[in-house]
Amino acid sequence: MMHTGFSKRIMFVGIILGALAGLFVGATESRGQDSVPPEQVAAHVHAVIEADRSLYTEFVVERLQQAGKVIASRHWKNRSQLPLPAQMLMFAGLEVEGMGSGLKYRLASLWPLEEENGPANDFEKAGLEVVADDPSEVYSGMIKRGKQKYFKAIYADKAVSQSCVECHNGHLLSPKRDYKLGDVMGGVIISFPVDDAISLEQVAAYVHAVIEADRTLYTKLVVERMQQAGIVLATQNWKKYRSQLPLPAQMLLLAGLEVEGMGSGLKYRLASLWPLEEENGPANDFEKAGLEVVADDPSEVYSGMIKRGKQKYFKAIYADKAVSQSCVECHNGHLLSSKRDFKLGDVMGGVIISFPIE
Ligand code: HEC
Ligand code: HEC
């Protein structure tokens, strides 16, 4: 009896351990191979949002204001003025939401200038309080709306320049007037649906959606409007002139470098089989094959796993099309162009996105 009871117990423990081991292996394998933890997904998305926001603030708004060319204001629309950085983030969030992937984001605060930017529920309120106390924290969790589960993450939004402080402290609608440089002023709230796991393709699609939304808004609301109003031009050599704007392609490339420096592992760039700048050509056979595939059929996303040393990466390539006549004219007429017959709607290159997989 003793003996039987003993071995039964061992067997029982053995089965449990075996089952657990199986579970863990299964879990790590599926995580490692074809999905990304939601925290990491939010970190990638946040990196792109932050990079674009800080480049827009520093290289566009502050430069042009200092040059006395144009200011940013909430009422930019009818006045040849620039949208505020907060508005650019909000517009991009709406644009991304409209693309229908389920990804959403917005800027909020416990001390909002606009009521609708306050916390929408207890989760958001708690999160905004946590990041206001410690901006290095990321407040996150799973929430449910109807039957759908969402992952939600809140990142601190800090007063990175004196202009943030001055405008908010001095604003008619501000419930708080003692911000100092470096203070937390609010938070970026990111959410996306989670069923079981978030596939690698889905992560690339989220990142691509943010990149595209920011690029389109920068092109339409900033570059084209400023050029049409005769205020400033976007040129390749913008850095040499106090009052020129970076080209949309350069903004994307600069943001890619900035994101790379943030350390989430995410990288992206703009490339082409007919690059104006040699370094924008395909870096290897995978990229060459991908750029060819999306050039043939822009609705395709070329993706796959690559290895560098011991690290595996997921890489996805999206078509980049001539969405306006200015793309065509500038590239066809450029001194360094190896192709001079681009037409409206043609694929001119691709956005290459990659991130490491555990
Ligand atoms: C010229 C004025 C101005 C400047 C400069 C400015 N903001 Fe704002 N900010 C606004 C306005 C106006 C809104 C409301 C925008 C809306 O919802 O239409 C806003 C919205 C926000 C929000 C969302 C909550 C709220 O107050 O409605 C945060 C957070 C925020 N800004 C942080 C910043 C940070 C950080 C900076 C500097 C990088 C900055 N702002 C620079 C005017 C400004
Ligand atoms: C005023 C000129 C100009 C306009 C307009 C322009 N580009 Fe470019 N584009 C450039 C330059 C210059 C580069 C190289 C930037 C660098 O690497 O510094 C570039 C880079 C690129 C690249 C990366 C490969 C390469 O050629 O180096 C792609 C793809 C691209 N542009 C597509 C577009 C699309 C699509 C549009 C329209 C939405 C557009 N461009 C509008 C000048 C322009």
Q: Each residue of 92-126: pLDDT tens digit?
A: 999 999 999 999 999 999 999 999 999 999 999 99
DSSP code string of 42-60: HHHHHHHHHHHHHHIIIII
Residue with the larger pLDDT of the pair 20 and 194: 194
Counting residues of the chain whose pLDDT is more than 90, the rounded percentage is: 80
Cβ atoms within 10 Å, residue 42? 26
Instruction: Report pLDDT for 80.
Output: 87
* pLDDT band per the 50, 70, 90 thresholds, residue 325: confident
Q: Which atom of ligand 2 is nearest to the CA of 326?
A: 5
Q: Which whole number is the average pLDDT over 233-238?
A: 92
Instruction: Report pLDDT for 132.
Output: 98
Give me the residues paired with residue 234 across strands.
245
Has residue 14 got a pLDDT over 60?
no
Domains, the chain, in order of start with CATH, read: 36-243 (no CATH), 266-358 (3.30.450.290)
Strand residue runs (E) in 116-271: 138-145, 148-158, 184-193, 198-199, 233-234, 244-245, 267-271
Instruction: Check: CB of residue 347 under 8 Å from CB of residue 320.
Output: yes
Has residue 200 got a pLDDT over 70?
yes
Give me the residues paired with residue 189 across strands.
106, 154
CB of 247 closer than 6 angstroms to any ligand 2 atom: yes
Residues near 72 by beta carbon (within 8 Å), at least 6 away in sequence: 61, 65, 81, 82, 83, 84, 85
Q: What is the pTM of this model?
A: 0.90
CB of 320 closer than 6 angstroms to any ligand 2 atom: yes
- Residue of minimum CA distance from atom 12 in ligand 2: 236
- Residue of minimum CA distance from atom 32 in ligand 1: 185
Instruction: Report pLDDT for 319.
Output: 98
Instruction: Report pLDDT for 13.
Output: 41
Distance 320 CA to ligand 2 centre (A): 10
Instruction: Report pLDDT for 189.
Output: 98
Q: How far apart, in whole angstroms, are the C-alpha atoms of residue 107 and residue 154?
A: 10
- Residue of minimum CA distance from atom 39 in ligand 2: 327
Give me the residues paired with residue 357 across strands.
312
Has residue 29 got a pLDDT over 60?
no
Instruction: Check: CB of residue 316 under 8 Å from CB of residue 208.
Output: yes
Instruction: Report pLDDT for 10.
Output: 41
Q: Which whole number is the average pLDDT over 292-311?
A: 96
CB of 346 closer than 6 angstroms to any ligand 2 atom: no
Question: In 3D, which of 200, 321, 216 has the Cα closest to residue 266?
Answer: 200
Distance 168 CA to ligand 1 centre (A): 7
